Structure 1
Amino acid sequence: MQILIKGGWVLTLDDTNQEWTAGYVAIKDDRITAVGPLADCPPELVEGTDLILDARGQAVLPGLVNAHTHLFQTYMRGLADDKPLWNWLKEEIWPFSLAMTEEDFYLAALVGCLENLKNGATSVIDMHYIHTSKANDDLVFEAMQASGIRGTLCRAAADQNYQPELMEDRPTILAEIERLARQWHGAAGGRLGLSFGALNPWGCSPELMQAAAAQGRELGLKLQMHVAETRAVAQTTIDTYGRRNVEWLADLGFLGADNQLVHCVWLDENEINLAAAAGASLVHCPVANMYLASGAAPVRRWLDRGLNVALATDGPGSNNSQDMLEVLKFTACLQKVTTLEAMVLYPRDVLTMATRGGARAMGRDDLGVLAPGMKADIITVNLRAPHIGPVHRADSALVYNANGNDVVNVLVDGRLVVRDHRSTLVDEDEIMTRAQARVEALRRELGK
């Protein structure tokens, strides 16, 4: 299959930040074969193509990477507004998730995958920690496969100090990681993958952390963890182990270049330096951090230390959407208001974190840039809407004006999975009708 995207404002996001106000991107199968100004597009490229997408009036850029979410929480958006983290979990998220059936986890994940794609995220890392049935994880993978998204299931676990029904013993956790790795890691032509998720420092024993790190590295898996999300989380680790979060990870041998450390709002200078020395990636979730009143992460300081930073929405239960274009604006504005420095982040910095930063956190050197040989994970975004245009700079318009509703087309692995705002692979209306009916049934069951 050969596809040509022509006429759009092409942002390559490469090392030179090359862009063309009228450009083209040529795709063959799952790879980009050529990128350049439209005036230089070879006639034979047009003649030999199977599908031409007219992108006039649209930005063309690499797909965004949502580096941390909880897809099952699509069932819970708006359920628990205005509560701090612990109350939010205990009073709303845990009871609702424990009532969900296997069908619910499939539907919730499929809704979440569609939401990510239609909001410009071609890749998603789903930290899934509700294992009331072993099938739950498989059903999330099946939803990813059906939607066409590039998906990583981060199979998360807790073995202490957590909701009893959601805790697991260490042998069970390790056995499930082994099973899922065999069945799903690298499936769908490499579009699907597995990683290990340590839920948080207070819910995971040192023995689990060490065993999971060893197993994950043996299997070639990335390691993700909620780290220093709130003051209380940071203090709990100090009270329990006499060490701050990242110091504790380093002591256990967990800290490394394969880490995706999520939130990191309350790291001190030594922890930032430790993470930088280890080559870890930090995942910033600005909307969720504001929603739960967790604090504002010092992203500028992270970048100045040479850390790789990825962006994420976090789960729909604490956002309440998975709109990665919205995350771009919040990332920039939150840094400005907390540093009182208007020039602390530029639009290109934010776009780079959302694309190349996410790709690097995933361990992918074939994503995040529009260039020959790279994977054809590409989005087009309308720039002619009244809330966006007239446009002076496309990067500014994308960060400060656009939202997920402006995403027009989405390609993953060179496959057009969203065309003119609609999924090409699944019936959105049917899925949303089923999901709404199930949520209403769960509310009645729980007396809400």
Structure 2
Amino acid sequence: MREKSEVKSDESESPEERTPMTKTTKISDLDHVVAWDESERRHVYVDGGDLVFKGNEIVHVGPGYTGTADATIDGKGFMAIPGFVNVHSHPFSEPANKGLTEEYGSDKLGQSSLYEYLPVFGLDAEDAGPSTMVAMSELLKSGVTTISDLSMSRDGWVDDLAATGIRAVVCPMMRQGYWYTKNGHTVEYAWDEKAGEKAFAAAMKTIDEATKHPSGRISAMVGPSQIDTCKEGYFREALQEAKRRNIPMQTHACQAVVEFYEMVHRHGKTPIEWLDSIGVLGPDLVIGHGIFLSDHPQIHYPHANDFELLRDSGASVAHCPTVFARRGMVLNSIGRYMNAGITVGIGTDTFPHNMVDEIRLACYVARVFTSNYKMGTTRHAFEAATVGGAKILRRPDLGRLAPGCKADFSLVDMSHPYMQPAHEPVRSLIYSASERAIRHVYVDGAQVVKDGKVLTVDVDAATQGLIEGQRKRLKTVPQRDWAGRTADQLAPPVYGTKDRLPQSRPVT
């Protein structure tokens, strides 16, 4: 990608310094632009078009821009796509689970890793910074320009996110209790309402401070952590605070078989029914992950109508296929939900933080699970990752390329071998090239990825910090595991290690 003007870029500058808010930049003669057609409410291809933005706002999409520009960039050989909007991620800890949770869950707890594995792995709070930065670098390289970060409040969290140049929605998780197992086949809950009140106050403080961040790229949502660790009053108060601030609320619900029957045991209601009964199920609620409804084959509870209740409520779903596919679980299905009018967004709940991979897997698992290729189309998943996520975050200026929208976009290298032949360029990106063909990424009009390299994160330093944090945490795994097992006993390596091999036979 070549600039035709003499504008220079200093990689040491902040995103705000690299793109003055009055500068007009024209990316000319793009092979393709995945543009937003407002009249038809869908993405369309525009071939041979220009993408022009002034400061952080798009002012022109299409051929024949005749206005002035401070800088013109040759877009020939590239496709512009809208920045992906990630609606559910846990960057503070998930990168440290690499090598541990890819294929292990609790056989006697619905195959989930929630109750026996995640509490003993993860990271200590002081190591969350490097983990977050590693995740942000992966997200940016895969074309994510907006991240919803569901993390525990910590010092420096918001500044870390802002420094990466990404657009971030902070969702400080808070709860009144936590789960644990003493035997690997039952789940118990420890409640501490005073700690819950303290976490609630800290979360609201973080939210209010984040929305005032000088970068202008930080917003927030309210986050009662899980449906089974927060009580009725807690949820209602959280919803009140979300409405008062005009921001969404997100909670984990319908994410495990154990959770489904725990709520039936407590209340005689499914998770969806209970959320509805307390007045929380509605347009302000985002449900991560919304899988285990009453009619899901792994539940088969014919005494409720969760799907219809969810559909009619206006609540949204954050769909994260990878983490559940690892446990043999899947949403039923992205096509079914979206065809029924349920707003669905895509998230990277786990490592790797690769949005293109999540989009592809969302399509594949839906088709396999339903035995119907129409229940997970590229349009379903691509639109969930763009305009669906933007709708969830109440940001019609994100997830699409149109005048008046934020200049959040990626440039895809159409000459990349995995993009060829590029008969259908979005399909080539999703099913073949993945993030490898994403060469340049802009957020708020500032370039944050150049030639596949993240400009705003010291990836080497962050990775080293992540490695050290994981090593430190793994040493203490037996202290947290109910059976005192080591990390290798909980998650045995693929292959054993030997000090020496048998002597090979001489060649004759």
Partner of 1:18: 44
Partner of 2:85: 65
Answering whether residue 70 of structure 2 is matched by residue 49 of structure 1, we say yes
Q: Relative to 1, partners in 2 of residues 1:165 and 1:23: Cα closer, same or farther, differing over 3 Å?
A: farther
Report the secondary structure of 1:171's partner residue.
Answer: helix
> Displacement of 1:107 after TM fit?
1.3
The alpha-carbon distance between structure 1 residues 82 and 22, as it changes in their structure 2 partners (threshold 3 A), is same
Instruction: State whether structure 2 residue 174 is matched by structure 1 residue 113.
Output: no
Residue 118 of structure 2 is matched in structure 1 by: 93
Distance, in Å, in 2 between the alignment partners of 1:84 and 1:54 is 49
Q: Secondary structure at the match of 2:287?
A: strand
Matched to 1:152, the amino acid is V
Structure 1 position 268, deviation (Å):
3.4
Does residue 83 of the first structure (1) align with residue 83 of the second (2)? no
Conserved? CA contact 1:32–1:375, under 8 Å: yes
Greater displacement, 113-122 / 436-445: 436-445
Check 1:348–1:161 CA distance in 2 against 1; reply closer, same or farther (3 A cut): closer
Task: Give the equivalent residue in structure 2 for 1:206.
Answer: 232
The 3-state SS of whatever aligns with 1:154 is strand
Q: 1:13 to 1:185 in 2, by over 3 A?
A: same
State how far apart, in whole Å, the 1-side matches of 2:456 and 2:349 are.
Answer: 25
Q: State the 1:300 CA deviation.
A: 2.0
2:306 matched to 1:302? Answer: no
TM-score when scaled to structure 1? 0.89
Deviation at 1:90, TM superposition (A): 4.2
Partner SS, residue 344 of structure 2: strand
Partner SS state of residue 467, structure 2: helix
Q: CA deviation at 1:167?
A: 6.2
**Is the 8 Å Cα contact of residues 30 and 376 (structure 1) preserved in structure 2?**
yes
How far apart, CA to CA, are the structure 1 residues paired with 2:285 and 2:102? 30
Classify 1:408/1:196 alpha carbon distance in 2 versus 1 (closer, same or farther; 3 Å).
same
Cα distance in structure 1, aligned partners of 2:475 and 2:73: 46
Q: How does 1:237-252 map to 2 (within 5 A)?
A: 237-252=263-278
Contact kept, 8 Å, 1:110 with 1:140, in 2: the verdict is no
Counterparts of 1:78 and 1:140 in 2: how far apart (Å)? 25
The one-letter amino acid of 1:100's match is: D
Give the letter for the 1:54 counterpart.
D
Q: Out of 163, 169, 190, which is 1:146 matched to? A: 163
Change over 3 Å in CA distance of 1:80–1:17 after alignment to 2: closer
Please name the residue that 2:17 is paired with. Answer: none
Q: State the AA in 2 paired with 1:418.
A: V
| Partners of 2:178 and 2:475 in 1: CA distance | 30
- Give the direction of change, closer, same or farther, for the CA distance of 1:349–1:161 in structure 2 (3 Å limit): closer
Which 10-residue stretch deviates more, 14-23 or 328-337? 14-23
Give the equivalent residue in structure 1 for 2:151: 128
Q: CA deviation at 1:354?
A: 0.7
Deviation at 1:332, TM superposition (A): 1.3
State how many pairs are aligned.
Answer: 430
Provide Cα deviations, 1:142-186, integer angstroms capped at 9, x if missing partner: 221110111112111221242589966332132112211221125
SS state of the match for residue 103, structure 2?
A: coil
For the residues of structure 2 that align with 1:208 and 1:389, how far apart are their CA atoms? Answer: 53
Q: Which amino acid aligns with 1:237?
A: M
Give the AA of the match of 1:232. Answer: V
The alignment status of 1:342 with 2:373, answered yes or no, reads yes
Give 1 or 2 for the bigger CA radius of gyration: 2
- d(CA) in 1 for partners of 2:257 and 2:472? 37
1:193 equivalent in structure 2:
219
The verdict on how the C-alpha distance between 1:158 and 1:33 changes in structure 2, with shifts beyond 3 A counting, is same
How many Å separate the matches in 1 of 2:116 and 2:341?
Answer: 39
Q: In 1, distance between residues paired with 2:476 and 2:104?
A: 23
Residues 429 and 437 of structure 2 are in contact (CA less than 8 Å); yes or no, is this contact kept in structure 1? no
CA distance in 2 between partners of 1:226 and 1:391 (Å): 39
Query: For residues 183 and 78 of structure 1, what CA distance do their matches in structure 2 show?
Result: 36
* Alpha-carbon contact 1:67-1:310 (below 8 Å) kept: yes
Q: What is the percent sequence identity of the aligned residues?
A: 25
Aligned-partner Cα distance in 2 for 1:139–1:159: 24
RMSD: 2.3
Aligned to 1:132: none
1:159–1:177 Cα change, 3 Å: same
